[in-house]
Structure 1
Amino acid sequence: MDERSLAVTRRSLHGVAELVLAGPQYRGGGGIRLRVVPGGFATLADPGVRVDGDRLITSAGKLPLTGTYAEVAEAAGLEASRLDDVYSGGPGVLPGEGLEVDPEAARLLADAFARGDAALRQLAPRETPVLWPEHFDVAVTLDEVNYGVSPGDDAIPEPYAYVGPWTPQTGDFWNTSFGAARLLAEVPDVLVFFQKGRGLVTDPE
């Protein structure tokens, strides 16, 4: 996968998550939480609005993720809305900016979210994984430890799984400032990685 295509697609889909899904949902009183669905991610309402690869699926039909965020939202009967008043550190995109979504990169990111969502549901059956529009990751929190999968960011450009204890840990497993991270391409079983981190937090070696 071309690194630029992945980065540009990730930023564009992050922008869609905030401006087209979470923003309008929040303004309508539905909160900012999103969920992972086959092919991508969606608002909480069912069927609601969802991203499937390089398409936006709405009551108006399948819309291509092309043009500006404002144009895509308008075509879906929505008003693009940023969430700067709710959090900091979001995608930083403007409604008038254009999208660039590579179908192959979109599928790779959707697969990362799907793997993360499945592993989180096995790790914590009583919890509902949330796709947060701020950092664009799917995660749960258990006993003051964050578990999740990110599609990548400025520090780690590829999709990765992470374990982030609120209390700093020591040892070889913990390889980042926030805890532990592993590239999904190098993790055959995300659940095993989560369980390893959970065990080390509760019973340090």
Structure 2
Amino acid sequence: MDIDSAVRTRRTLHAVAEAVLAGPQYRASGTIRLRTYPGGFATTAEPFLQVVGDELMAPGRRLPLRDTTWSALADAVGVTAGPPDGLYSDGSGVGPDDPLDADPQAAQWIAHCFGIADTALRRVGGDREPVLWPEHFDIGVTVDEVNYGVSAGDGYQPEPYAYVGPHTPRTGPFWNAPFGAARPGRDLGGADAITRFFEEGRRLAADG
């Protein structure tokens, strides 16, 4: 899987997450919170939609996330397209008529990263439910003023990465990112390794 395919796929999934899942869910149910789902991610309230790999799933429908747009996908599943209104200024940057192009292998990799992140976050977060946020397309929890999560990629790092972000900045070799600490997903391995990264971050954040 090359980096260009990974970035195109991430932008496509991010666009669908915010404009086809989170936006319609916010207008119908008042929440933008998404969740992991086997092989991808899903809404947490009506309308109930899922993305599995490189397909949008709706009752009786399986729609590929390529050679289409998020506005066309929304029309096909009967929801009003568009990101959540007035809640944030960032997002995927993908317009309603911009073409979508999800690579199956890259989509599976991102889904895998979110899945193992969900496991690790439940360990570090206790009873806190991990949330997949549509703004930055990352899944995370906050514990004692420290953010823990896994991003699908962004301007800082094009591919998935795990992060620890204390609300109060820390210094030292562990803290290698502008927002705290980050480790590429390819270097971390599975849920156990991500859990160890989170736990190390929690210990160092508590030490100040």
Normalising by the smaller structure, the TM-score range is: over 0.9
Q: Per-residue displacement from partner, 1:46-69 (whole Å, max 9, x unpaired)?
A: 891000001111113222223111
User: Corresponding residue for 2:77?
Assistant: 76
User: Corresponding residue for 1:200?
Assistant: 204
Q: Per-residue displacement from partner, 1:142-198 (whole Å, max 9, x unpaired)?
A: 011000001111221121100000001011100011100001111131000000000
Helix, strand or coil for the counterpart of 1:28?
helix
Q: Per-residue displacement from partner, 1:80-124 (whole Å, max 9, x unpaired)?
A: 112351101111222222210100000010011111111001112
Structure 2: where are the runs of 5+ without partners?
none
What displacement does 1:13 show? 0.5
Q: Per-residue displacement from partner, 1:29-53 (whole Å, max 9, x unpaired)?
A: 3311100111111000389100000
Matched, 1:23 2:27: no
Instruction: Select 2:195's aligned residue among 182, 186, 191.
Output: 191
Aligned residue type for 2:124: L
Q: Residues 47 and 76 of structure 1: is their aligned pair in 2 closer, same or farther, counting only changes over 3 Å? A: closer
Q: d(CA) in 1 for partners of 2:64 and 2:112?
A: 20
Aligned residue type for 1:23: G
Between 1:107-116 and 1:39-48, the stretch displaced more is 39-48
Between 1:107-116 and 1:90-99, the stretch displaced more is 90-99
Alignment of 1:53-92 (within 5 A): 53-66=53-66, 67-83=68-84, 85-92=86-93
Q: d(CA) in 2 for partners of 1:36 and 1:47?
A: 16
Q: d(CA) in 1 for partners of 2:85 and 2:106?
A: 27
CA RMSD of aligned residues (A): 1.4
Q: Residues 46 and 118 of structure 1: is their aligned pair in 2 closer, same or farther, counting only changes over 3 Å? A: farther
User: Corresponding residue for 1:149?
Assistant: 150
Q: Which runs of 4+ in 1 moved over 6 A?
A: none
Q: d(CA) in 1 for partners of 2:100 and 2:41?
A: 17
Aligned residue type for 2:184: L
Helix, strand or coil for the counterpart of 1:10?
helix
Aligned residue type for 1:26: Y
